Chains A and B, each alone.
Chain A
Amino acid sequence: MAFELTPERLAIFEELLPKYPTKQALTIPLLHICQEQAGHISDEVIEYVAKKLSLSTADVKGVVTFYTLFQQKPVGRNVVWVCRTLSCELMGARDITRALEEKLDCHVGETTKDGEFTLLEAECLAACGGGPMIQLNDEYFENLTPEKLDAILDAARKKKDGGCAVTFSPVGIRARKEH
């Protein structure tokens, strides 16, 4: 089935369009908006974005595969990124990864059986002063210990808003909500 943006999300795109000198510049923002709706970037999404911006699907696919934040396969309702780079590792990031693997019963790169969480490793998330840290959807949790993880995961399980739109997007609807 062909992919279509909801009118509410399309409005965000229309609002961004006149701000850039070229249509192609919208590739990354539009992919973010689409990913917020679809959960991941499927071939249908790539075709939709290419058509919307008058590009070839190869151009769009090239962008999708280049950037880490674009998910190329379906992910869980929540995405957990564990920072594995130096400062966090010095402070015990490997214990956090191990604890998460145990608590979620899945390995890094996999989704839990109930589809609630996808566990991924991230490169430096610019929170080195608060290592070890994780990013859960669009939120940072710093200065972690394995004991603190339970409460964070439970809270995420209970949060039911948004369905697959939980895949965070820096320019989508969730980003526009008051905070």
Chain B
Amino acid sequence: MPVENPRLLTKNYDTPNSWTLAAYEASGGYQALRKAIAMGPAAIREEVKAANLRGRGGAGFAAGVKWSFLKTSPDKPNYIAVNADEGEPGTIKDRTLMEKDPHRCVEGFIIAAYALDVHTVFVYIRGELVLAIKRIEQAVREARAKGYLGDKVIDQDFKLDIVVHAGAGAYICGEETSLLNSLEGLRGEPRLKPPFPAVVGAFGAPTIVNNLETLATVPTIIELGGDAFSKLSRLHHLRDGGVRLYGISGHVNRPGVYEAPVGITLRELIDDLGGGVRKGHTLKAVIPGGSSTPVLREQDVVHAPDEKHPLHAWHGKSHLDVPMGVDTMRGLGTMLGTCCAIVMDETTSMVRVAENLMMFYAHESCGQCTPCREGCAWMARLCQQVRRRHGHAGRPRHARRRRQQHHGQHHLRARRRRGDAHAGDPEAVS
């Protein structure tokens, strides 16, 4: 079965000057906003819930449910913080939305703000993406001039401003609480949760943090209706709805960004959308959704003989033939992540891949917690030693002990050996 290509989110990608207001309006832009305002905030929230829209940023949390957590208080404003700090290795989708269809993003922000009674939207865009920042800023300016933003949004009694905030190059700021710290002018170190941002977020006020693509999908949901949107997905029955952007990079013939329904398989992504592994080579491994997601291989098969297992329908099939959904990928022991796959052929050294990614994490560790700050650099060094064949039989044990030290376990075990039965027991008072 060839992959459907609905072209809803990417409708305007090939239009000349697709980033201008004129081009967006010519293709029916901002009609969803008018429809949404006629529906009213509660109805918009219901449609988004019915759409089974899962967050597109990696965690895959249901957006409609997240919106319902917003805890408004009379003395504080509500905020929306848009996460456009795209930096997960392999992930290339949000940049194309911002560069090629910024008005779709802006329309999504306005509808979401109207639904959640928000009067300020902060768009946190990665500082490196200068063109994307320019395009979104220009879109905001055009929308304000046309009356879609400002004191009276389309002559309604609703005030809204969108603030474009450029980051300064830190991977960790894609994590929602780090993003909020960074927005407040602090170092981008994560906060402890709870309280969750929906209760105490930006500037101490309730804040909904959504990925950019999640919000850019909202106009399409309003246009089609939540249920119809959800049914575009192949995993509608798993409450994972709609269409989304897929990215593919590495050793394929046609790397890039493609739109397809939720729930296509990795094989379809690689062969049908990505044009297959480059000529004369065979597939070795795939990282399914950004570098934090564990690697999948073609030769591994699903083992789920139990009928109650969520993956039972795919029992005995290759991992690449399981549909890509939030819950199915979790069932495989990996994650859906951002749906942007990195494909590696048989020429790739997996040790070097691990080293490369550990160097990334060592560089991008924010330094707040010891296991990551010290551990990532250790792991990078270990990978390098293995690659240079300086590893010896003691290395794995060495690595394990370092890991235990970082987690405090090594020390605890020594204490237990000395007869301290309560070592590591959080209930015990030492």
Contacts and interface: CB of A to CB of B under 8 A. Distances in A.
A168 B257 CA distance: 27
A103 B132 CA distance: 30
A119 B340 CA distance: 28
Given A22-B203, A87-B342, A126 B187 contact: no
Interface string B176-192: 00000011111110000
A68 B364 CA distance: 9
Contacts of B342: 86-87, 90, 128
A70 interface: yes
Interface string B143-181: 000000000000000000101011111110000000000
B54 interface: no
B130 A138 contact: yes
Contact of A87 (B169, B171, B250): B250
Interface stretch (B90-98, B233-241, B296-304, B316-324): B90-98
A25 B89 contact: no
Nearest to A19: B163
A42 interface: no
B168 A31 contact: yes
Nearest to A168: B130
Contacts of B372: none
Interface stretch (A1-9, A59-67, A109-117, A149-157): A59-67
A127 B344 contact: no
Given A24-B185, A168-B130, A128 B92 contact: yes
B129 interface: yes
Interface string A101-138: 00000000000000000000011111111110001001
B134 to A, nearest CB: 6
Contacts of B357: 85-86
Interface string A142-179: 00000000000000000000000000101100010001
Contacts of B125: 170
Contacts, number: 157
B163 A20 contact: yes
A99 interface: no
B89 A86 contact: yes
Interface residues of A, number: 47
From A32, A66, A175, name the one whose CB has the most chain B CB atoms within 10 angstroms.
A66
Contacts of B41: none
Contacts of A130: 255
A69 interface: yes
Interface string B228-261: 0000000000000000000111110001110000
A69 B360 contact: no
B128 interface: yes
A170 B166 contact: yes
Contacts of A138: 130-131
Contacts of B89: 85-87, 123-124, 128
B128 A69 contact: yes
Interface in A80-108: 81, 84-87, 89-91
Contact of B185 (A22, A126, A135): A22
A68 to B, nearest CB: 3
Nearest to B162: A19
B127 interface: yes
A179 B19 CA distance: 11
A90 B92 contact: no
Contacts of A131: 249, 255
Nearest to A138: B130
Contacts of A29: 165-166
A28 interface: yes
Nearest to A65: B187
A25 B184 contact: yes
A126 B86 contact: yes
A26 interface: yes
Given A126-B86, A127-B92, A25 B185 contact: yes
Nearest to A55: B185
A128 B89 CA distance: 7
Contact of A89 (B287, B356, B363): B356
B213 interface: no
A171 B166 contact: yes
Interface of B: 86-92, 94-95, 120, 125-131, 133-134, 137, 161, 163, 165-171, 182-188, 203, 205, 247-251, 255-257, 287, 291, 340, 342, 344, 348, 353, 356-357, 359-360, 363-364, 366
Interface of A: 19-22, 24-29, 31-32, 53, 62-63, 66-70, 81, 84-87, 89-91, 122-131, 135, 138-140, 168, 170-171, 175, 179
28 contacts: A21-B203, A21-B205, A22-B203, A24-B186, A25-B203, A29-B165, A53-B185, A63-B187, A66-B187, A67-B127, A67-B170, A68-B168, A70-B168, A86-B250, A86-B342, A86-B353, A86-B356, A87-B250, A122-B128, A123-B89, A126-B87, A126-B129, A128-B90, A128-B255, A128-B342, A129-B256, A170-B166, A175-B134
**9 nearest interchain CB pairs?**
A68-B169, A27-B185, A67-B168, A170-B166, A128-B249, A69-B169, A24-B185, A138-B130, A87-B249
Given A86-B342, A86-B357, A128-B92, 12 more contacts: A22-B184, A25-B184, A66-B366, A67-B127, A69-B168, A85-B89, A86-B356, A87-B249, A87-B255, A123-B364, A124-B90, A131-B255
